[in-house]
Amino acid sequence: MAVRAWDPLVGDAPDGVRIATSASDAVRGAELVLSLNAAAVALAAAQEVASALHAGVIYADLNAAAPSLKVAVAAVVEASGAQFADVALMGQVPGSGARTPSLVSGSGAAGYAQAIAAAVAAPIEVLSATAGEAATRKLLRSVFMKGLAAISIEALAAAEAAELGPWMHAELVAAYEGADRALLSRLLDGSRIHASRRVHEMEAAREMLDALGTPSRMTQGAVGWLEQLAVEGRG
C-alpha cells in the first residue's frame, strides 16, 4: 500500500510515507483520501483537490465540523464522481492513533469502513449514506463531554481560590467513579422537580464565584437552564 501525504506546515513524514508536492499531487490516483485538517479549512481543502478526484475514490473528512459543513464538503466531492465519508472520531487519538473508534456516514461510508478494516483493526460503526449524521452524533456528545470538562475546570478554579482545591478534586473523582444510569436519572428528573429551589442555590453559587474572582460561565448557564425548567414546570 502506497501512502502519500501533504501538509504545507510540516515537511517530515513517517517511514513509508512519501511527501507529495501539493495537495492535488497527494490525492491524484488515490483510492482513499483522508482529510485531516481544521474545520475552518475543510471545505477549501476539498475544493483544492476536487479536480484530482475521480469515480471510485473515497474522500473521507475526519475533521470535527458541523453537519452543514460536512454536507457542503460532500457536495464538492461528489460533483467529481468520488464518494464522501463523514468520519467522526469518538475517542482520544493520542494513544489510539488509527485505531481510534469512529462513526461514519455518507455515500462512501461502507467503502471507507472496508478500506480501513483491511489496513488497521479500528472499531468503525457505519451509520447511513447521509453526510453529516456522524458529525451530528459526535457534536452532540461533545456538548456533554466538553461541557463536563468546562464545569469541572470552573469548580476547581473556584475551589482553589477558596483554598479547597484538593477537597474539590476528591469530590469530582468520587462523582465520576460513582456515575451510573441511576445518577443520570436523578440529575435529569431532580433538575425538573426541584428547579425553582435550585435556581436560588445556583444564584448563590454564582455570587460566591464572583466574590472569589473566578469565572462563572457554566454556573450562569446552569441558572438559565433551571429558570427555564422552573417556568416549564409551572406551566
3-state DSSP assignment of residue 74? helix
- Tell me how far apart the alpha carbons of residues 166 and 177 are, in angstroms, rounded to a whole number: 16
Residues 143, 210 within the same domain: yes
Residues 75 and 189 in one domain: no
Looking at 79, 96, 129, which one is the last position of a domain?
A: 129
Asked whether residue 19 is domain-assigned, the answer is: yes
CB 199 within 8 A of CB 190: no
Determine, yes or no, domain membership for 226.
yes
The strand ranges marked E within 175-228 are none
In a domain, 209, yes or no: yes
For residue 179, being part of any structural domain is answered with yes
Q: Are residues 124 and 144 in the same domain?
A: no
11 with 116, same domain: the answer is yes
C-alpha radius of gyration, the chain, whole number: 23
- The per-residue pLDDT for range 30-89, each reduced to its tens digit, is 999 999 988 999 999 999 999 999 999 999 999 999 999 999 999 999 999 999 999 999
Q: Domain range spanning residue 143? A: 139-234
Is 66 within a domain?
yes
* Chain segment 139-167, per-residue pLDDT in tens: 999 999 999 999 999 999 999 999 999 99
How many CB atoms are located within 10 Å of the residue 84 CB?
27
Q: Is the pTM of this model over 0.85?
A: yes
Element containing residue 170 per DSSP (H, E):
helix 165-177
SS3 content of the chain, % helix, strand, coil (to 5): 60, 10, 30
Asked, for residue 134, whether it belongs to a domain, the answer is no
Indicate which CATH number applies to the domain containing 37. Answer: 3.40.50.720
Q: How many domains in the chain?
A: 2
